[in-house]
């Protein structure tokens, strides 16, 4: 606990960019939930732009709007 799943359009992140992203998210989560770094897991899941509406927007954003704490502006 906790597990973070980041869905995104495919992007060619360098190892340094990925490491920075994971470190920053881990820092924010460990601070907010007062957990040890070892308790955090993070998944990066590329989703093709043409599939975003079907695979992410409808089921996860619209379908779980009651859970959203930050809404997209699109």
Q: Please identify every residue annotated as catalytic.
A: 2
Q: Which two tokens stand for residue 26?
A: 């881990």
Using CA atoms, how far apart are residues 54 and 14, in angstroms rounded to an integer? 28
Q: Residue 46 in contact with residue 13, Cβ under 8 Å? A: no
């Amino acid at each position: 606990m906790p597990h973070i799943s980041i869905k995104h359009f495919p992007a060619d992140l360098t190892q340094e960019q990925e490491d920075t992203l994971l470190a920053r998210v881990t820092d924010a989560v460990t601070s907010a939930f007062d957990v040890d770094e070892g308790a955090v897991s993070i998944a990066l899941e590329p989703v093709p732009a043409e599939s975003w509406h079907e695979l992410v927007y409808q089921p996860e954003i619209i379908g779980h709007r009651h859970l959203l704490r930050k809404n997209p502006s699109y």
